[in-house]
Structure 1
Amino acid sequence: MKTMERRSTCPINFSVEIFGDKWMLLILRDLMFNGKNSFLEFRASAEKISSAVLTEKLNMLVDEGIVSKVVSPKNASKFLYLITDKGIELVPVMVEVLDWGSKYNPNGGPKPLLTQVRQNKKKAITELQEKLRSERQSYGLD
Protein backbone atom coordinates (compact mmCIF):
# COMPACT_ATOMS: atom_id res chain seq x y z
CA MET A 1 0.00 0.00 0.00
CA LYS A 2 1.34 3.41 -0.99
CA THR A 3 1.28 6.12 1.61
CA MET A 4 0.34 9.59 0.55
CA GLU A 5 2.43 12.47 1.83
CA ARG A 6 0.07 14.70 3.82
CA ARG A 7 0.23 18.48 3.97
CA SER A 8 -0.62 18.50 7.67
CA THR A 9 -1.99 16.36 10.49
CA CYS A 10 -5.36 18.15 10.49
CA PRO A 11 -8.25 15.63 10.25
CA ILE A 12 -10.10 17.86 7.76
CA ASN A 13 -7.00 18.04 5.58
CA PHE A 14 -6.63 14.24 5.79
CA SER A 15 -10.19 13.79 4.53
CA VAL A 16 -9.91 16.45 1.82
CA GLU A 17 -6.73 14.89 0.46
CA ILE A 18 -8.65 11.66 -0.11
CA PHE A 19 -12.13 12.93 -1.02
CA GLY A 20 -11.38 16.45 -2.20
CA ASP A 21 -12.62 16.04 -5.75
CA LYS A 22 -15.86 15.11 -7.42
CA TRP A 23 -14.60 11.84 -8.85
CA MET A 24 -13.94 10.21 -5.48
CA LEU A 25 -17.42 11.03 -4.22
CA LEU A 26 -19.01 9.80 -7.45
CA ILE A 27 -17.08 6.51 -7.34
CA LEU A 28 -18.15 6.03 -3.72
CA ARG A 29 -21.73 6.87 -4.72
CA ASP A 30 -21.64 4.18 -7.38
CA LEU A 31 -20.13 1.62 -5.01
CA MET A 32 -22.51 2.38 -2.13
CA PHE A 33 -25.79 3.34 -3.76
CA ASN A 34 -25.71 2.00 -7.32
CA GLY A 35 -24.20 -1.47 -6.86
CA LYS A 36 -21.37 -0.86 -9.31
CA ASN A 37 -18.09 -2.66 -8.74
CA SER A 38 -16.27 -3.04 -12.05
CA PHE A 39 -14.18 -0.61 -14.07
CA LEU A 40 -16.61 -0.70 -16.99
CA GLU A 41 -19.60 -0.07 -14.72
CA PHE A 42 -17.90 3.02 -13.27
CA ARG A 43 -17.02 4.22 -16.79
CA ALA A 44 -20.68 3.89 -17.81
CA SER A 45 -21.79 6.46 -15.23
CA ALA A 46 -23.47 9.60 -16.57
CA GLU A 47 -20.56 11.85 -15.55
CA LYS A 48 -18.18 10.17 -18.07
CA ILE A 49 -14.98 9.83 -16.06
CA SER A 50 -11.92 9.15 -18.22
CA SER A 51 -10.16 5.79 -17.97
CA ALA A 52 -6.95 7.41 -16.73
CA VAL A 53 -8.67 9.38 -13.97
CA LEU A 54 -10.78 6.38 -12.95
CA THR A 55 -7.67 4.20 -12.71
CA GLU A 56 -5.92 6.82 -10.58
CA LYS A 57 -8.88 7.26 -8.23
CA LEU A 58 -9.55 3.54 -7.82
CA ASN A 59 -5.88 2.93 -7.05
CA MET A 60 -5.98 5.69 -4.45
CA LEU A 61 -9.09 4.18 -2.81
CA VAL A 62 -7.35 0.80 -2.74
CA ASP A 63 -4.15 2.32 -1.34
CA GLU A 64 -6.14 4.08 1.39
CA GLY A 65 -7.89 0.80 2.33
CA ILE A 66 -11.35 2.15 1.48
CA VAL A 67 -11.83 -0.27 -1.41
CA SER A 68 -10.35 -3.69 -2.08
CA LYS A 69 -9.53 -4.98 -5.55
CA VAL A 70 -10.32 -8.65 -6.16
CA VAL A 71 -10.36 -10.96 -9.16
CA SER A 72 -13.88 -11.62 -10.37
CA PRO A 73 -14.99 -15.18 -9.58
CA LYS A 74 -16.84 -15.24 -12.93
CA ASN A 75 -14.03 -13.88 -15.11
CA ALA A 76 -10.39 -14.21 -14.04
CA SER A 77 -9.34 -11.36 -16.35
CA LYS A 78 -11.69 -8.89 -14.65
CA PHE A 79 -11.21 -7.10 -11.36
CA LEU A 80 -13.95 -6.04 -8.96
CA TYR A 81 -13.75 -3.17 -6.50
CA LEU A 82 -15.49 -3.81 -3.20
CA ILE A 83 -15.92 -1.35 -0.39
CA THR A 84 -14.09 -2.28 2.83
CA ASP A 85 -15.29 -1.77 6.40
CA LYS A 86 -13.29 1.44 6.44
CA GLY A 87 -15.27 2.58 3.40
CA ILE A 88 -18.56 1.36 4.83
CA GLU A 89 -17.99 3.73 7.75
CA LEU A 90 -18.41 6.54 5.19
CA VAL A 91 -22.03 5.59 4.47
CA PRO A 92 -23.48 8.10 6.97
CA VAL A 93 -21.40 10.89 5.41
CA MET A 94 -22.48 9.95 1.89
CA VAL A 95 -26.12 9.72 2.97
CA GLU A 96 -25.87 13.24 4.37
CA VAL A 97 -24.35 14.48 1.09
CA LEU A 98 -27.16 12.74 -0.82
CA ASP A 99 -29.82 14.22 1.44
CA TRP A 100 -28.36 17.73 1.29
CA GLY A 101 -27.89 17.61 -2.49
CA SER A 102 -31.43 16.42 -3.10
CA LYS A 103 -32.78 19.18 -0.88
CA TYR A 104 -31.12 21.97 -2.83
CA ASN A 105 -31.01 20.47 -6.34
CA PRO A 106 -34.16 21.56 -8.18
CA ASN A 107 -33.93 18.44 -10.38
CA GLY A 108 -33.08 16.03 -7.55
CA GLY A 109 -36.35 14.19 -7.30
CA PRO A 110 -37.09 11.42 -4.81
CA LYS A 111 -35.35 8.11 -5.35
CA PRO A 112 -36.06 4.91 -3.38
CA LEU A 113 -33.00 5.36 -1.13
CA LEU A 114 -33.79 9.01 -0.60
CA THR A 115 -37.34 8.13 0.40
CA GLN A 116 -35.96 5.63 2.93
CA VAL A 117 -33.52 8.23 4.25
CA ARG A 118 -36.25 10.77 4.75
CA GLN A 119 -38.50 8.28 6.53
CA ASN A 120 -35.84 6.94 8.90
CA LYS A 121 -32.25 8.01 8.24
CA LYS A 122 -30.64 5.88 10.94
CA LYS A 123 -32.42 2.73 9.76
CA ALA A 124 -31.59 3.45 6.10
CA ILE A 125 -27.90 3.87 6.95
CA THR A 126 -27.79 0.67 9.00
CA GLU A 127 -29.53 -1.33 6.28
CA LEU A 128 -27.21 0.01 3.59
CA GLN A 129 -24.12 -0.79 5.68
CA GLU A 130 -25.42 -4.32 6.32
CA LYS A 131 -26.09 -4.80 2.59
CA LEU A 132 -22.56 -3.69 1.68
CA ARG A 133 -21.03 -6.01 4.30
CA SER A 134 -23.15 -8.88 3.00
CA GLU A 135 -21.93 -8.22 -0.54
CA ARG A 136 -18.31 -8.40 0.65
CA GLN A 137 -19.04 -11.69 2.39
CA SER A 138 -20.60 -13.12 -0.79
CA TYR A 139 -17.14 -12.72 -2.39
CA GLY A 140 -15.49 -14.50 0.53
CA LEU A 141 -14.13 -11.34 2.08
CA ASP A 142 -14.26 -10.56 5.82
Structure 2
Amino acid sequence: MMGDQWSLLILRDIALHDRRSFRELLTGSDEGISAPVLSRRLTDLTAAGFLTKTEVTRGKQGRYSLTELGLATIPLLIELGRLGRRIDPSTEDREAALGDLDQRIEELRASHLGAASGPPSLAPR
Protein backbone atom coordinates (compact mmCIF):
# COMPACT_ATOMS: atom_id res chain seq x y z
CA MET A 1 0.00 0.00 0.00
CA MET A 2 2.74 2.47 0.84
CA GLY A 3 4.65 1.89 -2.39
CA ASP A 4 1.81 3.17 -4.54
CA GLN A 5 2.38 6.75 -5.70
CA TRP A 6 -1.15 7.85 -4.80
CA SER A 7 -1.84 6.23 -1.43
CA LEU A 8 0.53 8.41 0.57
CA LEU A 9 -0.77 11.53 -1.17
CA ILE A 10 -4.35 10.58 -0.32
CA LEU A 11 -3.42 9.92 3.32
CA ARG A 12 -1.55 13.25 3.36
CA ASP A 13 -4.55 15.14 2.00
CA ILE A 14 -6.89 13.55 4.55
CA ALA A 15 -4.54 13.97 7.52
CA LEU A 16 -2.91 17.31 6.82
CA HIS A 17 -5.45 19.14 4.65
CA ASP A 18 -8.71 17.71 6.06
CA ARG A 19 -9.98 16.67 2.64
CA ARG A 20 -12.42 13.97 3.65
CA SER A 21 -14.87 13.53 0.76
CA PHE A 22 -14.24 12.05 -2.66
CA ARG A 23 -14.86 15.42 -4.31
CA GLU A 24 -12.49 17.28 -1.95
CA LEU A 25 -9.77 14.72 -2.59
CA LEU A 26 -10.32 14.82 -6.36
CA THR A 27 -10.37 18.60 -6.76
CA GLY A 28 -8.12 19.70 -3.87
CA SER A 29 -4.91 17.98 -4.82
CA ASP A 30 -2.30 19.60 -7.07
CA GLU A 31 -1.09 16.19 -8.28
CA GLY A 32 -4.11 15.64 -10.55
CA ILE A 33 -5.31 12.15 -9.64
CA SER A 34 -8.07 10.84 -11.92
CA ALA A 35 -11.48 9.89 -10.53
CA PRO A 36 -11.13 6.16 -11.34
CA VAL A 37 -7.67 5.95 -9.73
CA LEU A 38 -8.86 7.87 -6.65
CA SER A 39 -11.87 5.60 -6.31
CA ARG A 40 -9.71 2.48 -6.50
CA ARG A 41 -7.10 3.78 -4.05
CA LEU A 42 -9.76 4.83 -1.54
CA THR A 43 -11.28 1.35 -1.79
CA ASP A 44 -7.84 -0.23 -1.32
CA LEU A 45 -6.93 2.01 1.65
CA THR A 46 -10.27 1.23 3.27
CA ALA A 47 -9.91 -2.52 2.69
CA ALA A 48 -6.36 -2.45 4.09
CA GLY A 49 -7.56 -0.73 7.27
CA PHE A 50 -6.00 2.72 6.81
CA LEU A 51 -9.37 4.46 6.33
CA THR A 52 -13.03 4.04 7.11
CA LYS A 53 -15.87 5.52 5.10
CA THR A 54 -19.05 6.88 6.61
CA GLU A 55 -21.90 5.60 4.49
CA VAL A 56 -24.59 8.14 3.66
CA THR A 57 -27.81 8.20 1.71
CA ARG A 58 -27.70 8.36 -2.06
CA GLY A 59 -26.79 11.78 -3.41
CA LYS A 60 -24.70 12.73 -0.36
CA GLN A 61 -20.91 12.68 -0.03
CA GLY A 62 -19.45 10.01 2.23
CA ARG A 63 -16.60 11.06 4.52
CA TYR A 64 -13.35 9.21 4.91
CA SER A 65 -11.66 8.98 8.30
CA LEU A 66 -8.26 7.77 9.36
CA THR A 67 -8.07 4.64 11.48
CA GLU A 68 -5.35 4.04 14.06
CA LEU A 69 -3.32 2.44 11.26
CA GLY A 70 -3.87 5.52 9.11
CA LEU A 71 -2.83 7.78 11.98
CA ALA A 72 0.34 5.71 12.36
CA THR A 73 1.42 6.84 8.88
CA ILE A 74 1.62 10.52 9.88
CA PRO A 75 5.22 10.35 11.20
CA LEU A 76 6.18 8.63 7.92
CA LEU A 77 4.57 11.47 5.95
CA ILE A 78 6.49 14.02 8.03
CA GLU A 79 9.81 12.20 7.48
CA LEU A 80 9.18 11.96 3.73
CA GLY A 81 8.52 15.72 3.73
CA ARG A 82 11.82 16.30 5.52
CA LEU A 83 13.65 14.13 2.98
CA GLY A 84 11.97 16.04 0.16
CA ARG A 85 13.24 19.33 1.57
CA ARG A 86 16.79 17.92 1.81
CA ILE A 87 16.65 16.78 -1.80
CA ASP A 88 15.02 20.00 -3.01
CA PRO A 89 15.51 22.90 -0.57
CA SER A 90 12.96 24.99 -2.49
CA THR A 91 10.22 22.60 -1.33
CA GLU A 92 7.74 24.40 0.91
CA ASP A 93 8.20 23.61 4.61
CA ARG A 94 4.76 22.93 6.06
CA GLU A 95 5.97 21.06 9.12
CA ALA A 96 5.96 24.16 11.34
CA ALA A 97 2.23 24.59 10.68
CA LEU A 98 1.60 21.20 12.31
CA GLY A 99 2.92 22.31 15.68
CA ASP A 100 3.55 19.54 18.21
CA LEU A 101 3.22 16.28 16.28
CA ASP A 102 1.87 14.22 19.19
CA GLN A 103 -0.73 16.87 19.94
CA ARG A 104 -1.72 17.08 16.27
CA ILE A 105 -2.13 13.29 16.08
CA GLU A 106 -4.36 13.43 19.19
CA GLU A 107 -6.46 16.15 17.52
CA LEU A 108 -6.78 13.99 14.41
CA ARG A 109 -7.65 10.97 16.56
CA ALA A 110 -10.47 12.94 18.18
CA SER A 111 -11.69 14.27 14.83
CA HIS A 112 -11.48 10.99 12.91
CA LEU A 113 -12.16 8.40 15.61
CA GLY A 114 -14.04 10.46 18.18
CA ALA A 115 -11.49 9.35 20.79
CA ALA A 116 -8.81 11.13 22.74
CA SER A 117 -7.06 8.10 24.17
CA GLY A 118 -3.78 6.62 23.05
CA PRO A 119 -3.58 4.17 20.18
CA PRO A 120 -4.20 0.47 20.71
CA SER A 121 -1.47 -1.95 19.82
CA LEU A 122 -0.76 -2.07 16.10
CA ALA A 123 0.83 -5.51 16.41
CA PRO A 124 -0.41 -8.10 13.91
CA ARG A 125 -3.12 -10.38 15.18
* Deviation for aligned residue 1:71: 3.2
**Partner amino acid for 1:85?**
E
- Find 1:46's aligned residue among 10, 19, 30: 30
The alignment's TM-score, normalised by the length of structure 1, stands at 0.71
Structure 1: 4+ residue segments shifted above 6 A: none
* TM-score, scaled relative to structure 2: 0.79
Q: Equivalents in 2 of 1:48, 1:116: separation in Å?
A: 24
Q: Assess, with a 3 A threshold, how the Cα gap between structure 1 residues 72 and 34 changes in structure 2: closer, same or farther.
A: farther
Alignment correspondent of 1:11: none
Equivalent pair of 1:29/1:94 in contact (CA under 8 Å): yes
Aligned counterpart, 1:127? 103
Contact 1:67 1:82 in 2 (8 A): yes
Q: How many equivalent pairs are there?
A: 114
Q: Which residue of 2 aligns with 1:66?
A: 50
Shift of 1:131: 1.4
How many Å apart are 1:31 and its aligned residue?
1.0
Residue 37 of structure 1: which of 20, 27, 30 is its match? Answer: 20
Q: How big is each residue's C-alpha offset from its partner over 1:29-80, in whole Å with a ceiling of 9 and x where there is no partner?
A: 101111111101111111110010000000001001110000369x972111
* Deviation at residue 87 of structure 1 after TM alignment: 0.9
How well do the aligned residues superpose, as a CA RMSD in angstroms? Answer: 2.4
Letter in 1 for 2:18: G
Residue 96 of structure 2: aligned partner: 115
Structure 1 gap segments, 5+ residues each: 1-17, 118-122
Q: Contact between 2:51 and 2:67, CA under 8 Å: does it hold in 1?
A: yes
Distance 1:47 1:38 in 2: 17
One-letter identity of the residue aligned with 2:51: V
Provide the residue aligned with 1:136 in structure 2: 112
- 1:56 aligns with 40
1:81 aligns with 2:81: no
Which amino acid in the other structure matches residue 63 of structure 1? A
User: Which whole-Å deviations, capped at 9, do the CAs of 1:85-126 have from their partners, x for residues lacking one?
Assistant: 111111111111111112222431333xx1267xxxxx7321
Matching of residue 93 in structure 1 with residue 69 in structure 2: no
